[in-house]
Structure 1
């Protein structure tokens, strides 16, 4: 099953301008009792630890970013460590999670099984790339599915962090899933969460380094870094504006078909239709819903920059940006995913669309995370199975 639009899953992280120590204590709200075993980490990074028996924690070499305080049966806390702050000593009070009822039908949804939805979840969340297919989700039993029949929406929830082993990139990812939805009516999916990367050190360092470079170059993180640094051409990216124009005639024919179906449902009768009209309608309905028009001129970085806020550069554009990476061609598996295995591989092209202005930083991150969506090549390759920590730097 294929979905044409995927929302990026990165969460808000500020630029890493300085390194610092962050220490503190985690206690239960109301009682002040220390809580052991709570995860404390910088989101989408390799910097993390767990609280000791007295609730204390200490992190060194901490970049600016979102500090996540997360534990089973407790609500997560997000604390933004800002650039330029002195070493921090913090105290966090965690609230217990409110347990939800697991009745068969509640709140408009029905509970569903891994057997029914597991493969779709894995393909959407971990991905369909060769690297993603070698990943192992170690605790799939932690996931519960809810299907909303009226809205045709699938939702996945987990009360504990998902543990994903990625042997190709040599990471273990602890992913605190905050949101996961697939809309079958719109063919769109979205997920978000907090990720801590742990080094496995189980494969050859050379092989892991090679795979990490392959995952990085041409990725959304690579592009955002290049855009932030005004190095699009130097990093082998071409960017053009794209306008999507709907097929008005197809919309008209679709409305006529819907009206005829409604008439048939109400009266059991349908107006006679000539063979020529039927053939024309069939031909029109076989066309694409829209036509994409690409601007011939390459776009400059300053054409989409709107200002700066803190460590962020703000960007905005109308319609779509077409991003082509000249440093590599499409994977053979991507052509199979498109249903065109015999088509010659082209340079990787992705389409980016905004809901509103988005902030980008030097680490390759964007915020708000759900306001930037991709389709095309990144719609296939941007997934947890190809994800790298934001503190990753390719060795030259």
Structure 2
């Protein structure tokens, strides 16, 4: 075991310091004209550039493996390409002109158009930024005028489109995020969100004397996150980083699910009827007894019983030396419990406490819980920076609630502040 850990440490250190050079050219698909001023970036990183007068670009990538290259311009259709960063081949990328897809949607859905930012902007921002108020309140959309809202009264669904990439400034983490949103749909009846986007990060200037604060906020966003977990899986140090794995089986609170659906339906109807974003239960339901009962039920746990068995990472993760990745795979649902250890001196807001019942009796399980399962077989291949390209892992719980306001670029490395 010690030999394995030593090898993995040396293996990780070697590829963590690796850098690769990616080169390419962008042309118009029809005219073959070389295109200048095209944005080129690695998705969800600070690594990006624009094409020169000959349509050429060069990117220095500080990690190996698969990366998602985004090629974007307002008058051309965005292209996302999964490539091998280690490839020595010069890329030739052909772009198609925009076909005014958004305008077609506007015409077809004009009867559902409800283009009122004062009405829908609050809800959209809350869903997009996440539930942590400390981070979410520090994020501001700089170009809200680009948003177009549609509400379908028949399906009780809100759809949002952006005519150009959103520019979001996160003041506490000192990032400007360019978010190119492909679709956003929120179903009030089921409380299900569908959203696809690519992001590019830029460092914002940090005021003198505020460097320590910014490091602390980034540190807090990183620890316990999906990025932190995947990197810990890759490095085989889950326990040291504060993660514990459990095979997971639950008995859900059916009454809370029923009441939650009623409330979500009422929220959708309220938003559609007026501009008042207030959806407190006492406002939504005029009958006091009904509002009181719903409030009582919504305070209950989502789960009335929970059966867990602790599992070892050794059974779930296999090192692939040839591909420089770790294969991570499991059956059923996996619960990841995160508890900041003595070395992690960050403040994490919010805590989930559930009753855990297993063959050894009942115990309290304090910490931040996340749940994962695969929607199809095959697992994922984790790279040294925690990134994986497969789209088959479904995540809910704490990690999924950390949305744009707590998002860090994949090339981020924690620099622990002296707290």
- Normalising by structure 1, report the TM-score: 0.75
Q: Is the 8 A contact 1:16 1:83 kept in 2?
A: no
2:192 maps to 1:170: no
1:307: Cα distance to partner? 8.1
2:335 maps to 1:322: yes
Question: Residue 399 of structure 2: SS of its match in structure 1?
Answer: helix
Which of 120, 127, 132 matches 1:124? 127
* Aligned residue runs from structure 1 range 217-366, under 5 A: 217-246=223-252, 291-295=304-308, 297-305=309-317, 310-327=323-340, 334=350, 346-357=366-377, 358-359=379-380, 360-366=382-388
1:105: Cα distance to partner? 6.7
What is the distance in 1 between the residues matched to 2:150 and 2:347?
33
What residue is the counterpart of 1:278 in the other structure?
Answer: none
Question: Residue 234 of structure 1: SS of its match in structure 2?
Answer: helix
2:161 maps to 1:141: no
* RMSD (Å), alpha carbons: 3.5
Q: Judging changes above 3 Å, is the alpha-carbon distance between structure 1 residues 98 and 137 closer, same or farther for their aligned structure 2 residues?
A: same
What is the distance in 1 between the residues matched to 2:393 and 2:110?
27
2:74 maps to 1:52: no
What is the distance in 2 between the residues matched to 1:153 and 1:331?
36
Q: Is the 8 A contact 1:330 1:348 kept in 2?
A: no
1:60: Cα distance to partner? 2.7
Question: Residue 126 of structure 2: SS of its match in structure 1?
Answer: helix
Higher relative contact order (CA 8 A, sep 6+): 1
What is the distance in 2 between the residues matched to 1:32 and 1:167?
42
What residue is the counterpart of 1:25 in the other structure?
Answer: 25
What is the distance in 1 between the residues matched to 2:55 and 2:324?
32
1:83: Cα distance to partner? 4.6
Q: Judging changes above 3 Å, is the alpha-carbon distance between structure 1 residues 85 and 228 closer, same or farther for their aligned structure 2 residues?
A: same
What residue is the counterpart of 1:96 in the other structure?
Answer: 97
Q: Judging changes above 3 Å, is the alpha-carbon distance between structure 1 residues 330 and 55 closer, same or farther for their aligned structure 2 residues?
A: closer
What is the distance in 2 between the residues matched to 1:362 and 1:212?
20
Q: Is the 8 A contact 1:73 1:159 kept in 2?
A: no
1:303: Cα distance to partner? 3.2
Which of 378, 403, 410 matches 1:383? 403
Q: Judging changes above 3 Å, is the alpha-carbon distance between structure 1 residues 108 and 362 closer, same or farther for their aligned structure 2 residues?
A: farther
Which of 57, 66, 69 matches 1:67? 69
Q: Judging changes above 3 Å, is the alpha-carbon distance between structure 1 residues 20 and 119 closer, same or farther for their aligned structure 2 residues?
A: same
What is the distance in 1 between the residues matched to 2:310 and 2:110?
48
What is the distance in 2 between the residues matched to 1:138 and 1:199?
16
Which of 373, 377, 388 matches 2:395? 373
Q: Judging changes above 3 Å, is the alpha-carbon distance between structure 1 residues 247 and 305 closer, same or farther for their aligned structure 2 residues?
A: same
What is the distance in 1 between the residues matched to 2:111 and 2:328?
38
What is the distance in 1 between the residues matched to 2:400 and 2:390?
18
1:215: Cα distance to partner? 0.8
1:45: Cα distance to partner? 1.1
What residue is the counterpart of 1:266 in the other structure?
Answer: none
1:304: Cα distance to partner? 3.1
Q: Is the 8 A contact 1:143 1:158 kept in 2?
A: yes
What is the distance in 1 between the residues matched to 2:158 and 2:336?
30
User: Cα deviations across residues 322-346 of structure 1 (Å, max 9, x unaligned)?
Assistant: 222110799786479xxxxxxxx95
What is the distance in 2 between the residues matched to 1:383 and 1:32?
39
What is the distance in 2 between the residues matched to 1:290 and 1:324?
16
1:385: Cα distance to partner? 0.8
Q: Is the 8 A contact 2:351 2:368 kept in 1?
A: no
What is the distance in 1 between the residues matched to 2:107 and 2:406?
36
- Normalising by structure 2, report the TM-score: 0.71
Q: Is the 8 A contact 1:109 1:147 kept in 2?
A: no
1:145: Cα distance to partner? 2.0
What residue is the counterpart of 1:77 in the other structure?
Answer: 79
Q: Is the 8 A contact 1:316 1:356 kept in 2?
A: no
Aligned residues: 341
